[in-house]
Structure 1
């Protein structure tokens, strides 16, 4: 009988770097590699413990003087869209979403570059090449999918492959307790469509259809204006030192 123990993941700590969210702060991360036969299981456990996945790395903040980054997950079965979200759903009723294996395309990368050039000109991803994008999508040892959102055209639903204009893309991990939105991007010219909000609403609906409880949104950074949208999707839980707890926006100061 083989009694050899399964190797435990090894964790590492990054060097301090300038925080991309809060001025004057420095960030550090603890990380491990998600590879091998247990990668999907480890991704589930680590995501539930506040980690995020980037390619074959799972990481979480380990900053010395700041605790602003808080893991967020939406309670899918209890979620009810507010009036503004219902308007977003109505505006995008002409959008078709199709799920594919985690494989990049030239069309996706073209949209990705338009999004970065408009929204993240000075970010750490601003100089990503087609190869970098392909690695971001393909370098996964877990159950990852690409969801493409296209404008419906005449004849859509007849062809196996929708051919309408590509409006948005989500890279999503399929987990045992829900969906984790790893990264998403969209055509910035369609600001009135609120495509970022629409993709989250679509993930909530998909999670409910799967009979699973959670949509993981990554980190909400208290004090960062560009992360404020994440708290609009209620009810949701935040990971605290006491575990996952319901977040009450009315008590947040």
Structure 2
């Protein structure tokens, strides 16, 4: 199982990106605001069409030539800003996500599985709009996990989460990669990206600046150019932390 994204050119925000990934990897997409992270994820999942140039391939098949049902079977997708669904319960919201899944993955057991993964069972009877932003983010992530697809694509999965749940979600995504999924996520927290990801794709003004292992991508020169910061890293057995200083 492999991914190849090549020569993507759709807008001034996302002009050209090329990289490969494989099953069992957690790939972090990083970059400053407006660098093209969300555009890249929507291109990968076939939502940004037609591309002016380039292709996205999975197991040598073009994602852009797959049917909508084939893409649903391939991707679990968490958008940056999920659509509002009115004053419905969390349970009904999750059940609505089962509709488009294959029958084998659309039962009550699947809903129970993801509710347990995200520890949201207690939220099921509550109205979705009444939950906090962080709680809603966990609900939307649970919906993205319905179907247990082989490729999980998340746009800022830790947005609005407290520190405890940021670590829980990142550890969960890491476990999916360790068990054979391809996980691709746009991330703002570089410390979390360095700690949990196998590979980082650094975007700058819509173009690929660097791609590789975290230690290689998060170099002093790359951070200065992409984020206008000077970085000091604290490294322990438990993880890493970034202490940034503004350059301008």
TM-score interval, smaller chain: 0.3 to 0.5
> In proportion to residue count, which structure has more helix?
2
TM-score, with structure 2 as normaliser:
0.35
